[in-house]
Every structure is written in C-alpha cells, then in structure tokens.
Amino acid sequence: MNSRLYLDHNATSPMRPAVRAAMQAALAGPHNASSVHAEGRAARQILDAARARVAGVIGASAPGVIFTASATEAINLGLRGMVDGPAKIRRLMISAIEHDAVRVTAEDIAARRDVALDIIPVTAQGQIDVDWLCHRLNAHVAGTDGNLLVAVMAANNETGVIQPIEAIAPAIFRSRSYLFVDAVQAFGKMPLDLGSLGADLAAISGHKVGGPVGAAALIVKPGLAIAPVVTGGGQELFRRAGTENLPAIVGLAALCAELGVAEFAALSGLRDAIEASLPAVARVWGQGAPRLANTLSFSVPGFSSETQVMALDLAGISVSAGAACSSGKVRRSSVLSAMGASADEATSNVRISLGWDTPMTAPATFARVYTAEIARWQKRHAA
Ligand code: PLP
C-alpha cells in the first residue's frame, strides 16, 4: 500500500506514530474512570489530564469538554441537548453547507418537534451570507419568536472554505441567541479559540488530523446546561452516559501535542501546486475565499465524480468525490449546489485533501496521473 498516494485526509487521516504509541501504552487497562479503587482513580487521573489538554488546545474550559465516540454523536448531543435542555431552543438556523451530521439532525428535530428550521444561504464563493443572517437576527425577538440556535461550521469539508464566524458571533449574541460551531474540519488545521470566539457549543474530532477514530468531543461554554441524549450513567457530568473510551481519549490528547497550525498552513504550497496542474476545463471551488490549506475541490463538467475517483484509485491515488456520502455512494453535492453549481458541475466534482504525511512529491505524482486520465477521457469523449 506504500506506493499509493493518500489524498483524502478530510475523510480521515492515518494515525500519527505518537498517537499510536500513546494509545498502545493505554490499551491494557483496566480503565473505568468511575471506579473508586486504585485502578479507577488512576484512570480518572488520565481522563482528567486528557480533558485539560484538549480544552487547552482550543481555548475551552476543561469541564466544558464532553467526550463522545464521534463528531456526529457530539453534534447530535449539542443540537438535541439544546432543544431538550433549559435553553429550550425552538428555532434552528443552519447554513446551507453544513455536514449531514448537522443538516440531517436539524431536519429530524424539526420534523419531530415544535422547532422551526431556517437555512442560511451561501455566496458563490461558499461563505455564508452574513447580511442575510444579520438581517434575520436583527428581526428576531428571543422568547417571543422562540429561542434560537445558529449552527455554522468553521470550515467546510468539501471546499475547505473558512466561514466568517467572528463576523456573525456578535450579532448572534446581541439577539440573545446561541452559537453552535461544527469545528471538525477546523480542529488542528487553523487557529481555533472557542473562548475568545464565545461559541456556546462546538464539536471537534481528531481523526481528520492523525488522531484516532472513536474519540471526539462536544464543547460547551461554562454554565451552559444541556440535556443528555444517552442516559443511564453519571459519566461526563451526566451529559453522556457510558464508560469512557480511555485509550482513544488518550490518543486524542496525544494528538493535541502534535498539532501545529503553522506546519499545517505550509500544505497550501502543495495544494496550490496541484491546483496549478489542473486542466483549463476544471473549475475550482472557493478559490476567492479563505480556504483550509489542505483542501482543493474542483469539477470537470461531463467527467463524473465517480469515474474520476475510480480512475485515480486504479492509478494508486485516493481522493473522494466532494459529494460522497457516508454510505460510500456518490450523489449530487448539496454544498456545490448551494454555491450555484449546475447539476453537471455538482456531479463531476473531486475533493483532494492533504495531511501530515503527504509527500513533497504529491503534486508531481498527481499531475502525471491526472493529466493522463483527462487525456483518456477527452479521447473517449471525442470518439
Ligand atoms: N462535521 C464535518 C464538517 C465533517 O467533515 C465530518 C466528517 O466528515 C463530521 C462532522 C462527522 O464526523 P464523524 O463522521 O467523524 O462523526
């Protein structure tokens, strides 16, 4: 497998050696952090240290860190916990480009509960329409109109476009509404200080930057109470029942010591080189907006996502269709559609995402393979 070129870090990233070493050391246990005996107390110490380290790296308070098994679970807990908790959320406003974990969960809540759902439009560059949102927030009367939770991701998983969270946060708080940030793609890839941002809730996960699958977290602001989704135990201050997955949490904490935002920013050199090698027919998404250094999304109308991904796979390069869903199927990208892409563009999209182990030779390898694939496709097309 070593000769392959893996360019799908936004889906998941290979585990970093230091993370693996920390997890291996923690695997044997016993480690039930709720037990009162010596082994339990030792596990509690490890858990507390991990919580403090995760909190420290994102400017959060340690008691606000609720460990979960995935970001999807953290997002469910955040959204459902705010509807069922003391905040009594009765209106959700989410951006048109949210990940399914947010969008489908918000739709499910709206379908089952007395909760309204609004969609915040995005510009052609893939950033939320700040004027639209501020206008709505100015007109919103908390209490009368139902308490409002606004969910906007920090950076988009398909295009890498960074969202103007700092610009919208003051208007959200002025309207006495709550801010939820899906920071899954931002974590470890760009500066993230939840404390200074003032976000009420945020979801993070480590496996997009070399951490383990199986440990993620919902971060809540000090003093903000949410209702649990999983009940039956006092773990995580009664907000997420179930014995904590200590080895994975140790891995997430070890990851925090490895993250370097400056080092990650340097990936933009490789990304830009790949972008420069694309054929003239390719349309790059979010090119005029601030983007994560590692992400490139483009479409070649007429050359379907599925065919491109399969051709690159056969040639030893792993990428994804921007619109690949969790079932592995490729569908029309709702993110690109929201940005104004045509049906053809939204089904001929490829996402390249680099990461900590991407070799310097990646642009040359990609250019060689992709140029040949494009030539083959054009020949087929002309025939
Ligand atoms: N949010 C964003 C922006 C994501 O990119 C992902 C995963 O791709 C998730 C949430 C869900 O993460 P997980 O599948 O690890 O639960």
Establish whether residue 99 lines the binding site of ligand 1, counting it when its CB lies within 6 angstroms of any ligand atom.
Answer: yes
- Please tell me the predicted confidence (pLDDT) of residue 330: 66
Q: Which residues pair with 324 in a beta bridge?
A: 330
189 lines ligand 1 (CB under 6 A): no
Residue 1: pLDDT above 70?
no
| Per-residue CA distances from 368 to 59, 137, 316, 348, 363 (Å) | 43, 49, 12, 20, 9
Is the minimum distance from the CB of 184 to ligand 1 under 6 angstroms?
Answer: yes
| pLDDT for the residue numbered 189 | 97
Report pLDDT for 120.
Answer: 98
Percent of the chain with pLDDT over 90: 91
Q: Is the CB of 311 under 6 A from ligand 1?
A: no
How high is the pLDDT of residue 88? 96
Residue 79 Cα to ligand 1 midpoint, Å, equals 15
Give the tens place of pLDDT for each residue, 353-364: 999 999 999 999
Express as a percent the part of the chain with pLDDT over 70.
Answer: 97
Q: Which of 70, 75, 99, 325 maximizes ligand 1 atoms within 8 Å of its Cβ, making it the mutation to test the pocket? A: 99
Decide which of 328 and 20 is more confident. Answer: 20
pLDDT number for residue 264: 95
Is pLDDT at 253 greater than 80 in this prediction? yes
What is the rounded distance in angstroms from the CA atom of residue 286 to the CA atom of residue 126?
Answer: 6
Band of pLDDT at residue 328, cut at 50, 70 and 90: low
Where does the pLDDT of residue 145 fall: very low under 50, low under 70, confident under 90, or very high at 90 and above?
A: confident
Distance 144 CA to ligand 1 centre (A): 34
Confidence (pLDDT) at 331? 77
Q: Provide the annotated active-site residues.
A: 325
| pLDDT over 60 at 325, yes or no | no
Tell me, in angstroms, the distance from the centre of ligand 1 to residue 325's CA.
11
Q: Whose CA is nearest to atom 7 of ligand 1?
A: 11
For residue 317, how far is its CA from the centre of ligand 1 (angstroms)?
Answer: 22
pLDDT given at position 324: 58
Residue 152 class from Cβ within 10 Å (0-12 exposed, 13-18 middle, 19+ buried)? buried
What is the pLDDT, as a whole number, of residue 141? Answer: 76
Per-residue pLDDT, 326: 61
What does the pLDDT average to over 135-154?
A: 88
* Cβ of 157 below 6 Å from ligand 1: yes
- In this predicted model, what pLDDT tens digit does every residue of 54-68 receive, in sequence order? 999 999 999 999 999
> What is the reported pLDDT for 327?
62
Nearest one of 320, 324, 323 to 346, comparing CA atoms: 323
Average per-residue pLDDT for the chain: 95
Q: pLDDT tens digits, residue range 30-46? A: 889 999 999 999 999 99
Alpha-carbon 84 to chain mean position: 24
The confidence score (pLDDT) of residue 103 equals 98
Per-residue pLDDT tens digits for 258-284: 999 889 999 999 999 999 999 999 999
Say yes or no: CB of residue 72 within 6 Å of ligand 1: yes
pLDDT given at position 22: 98
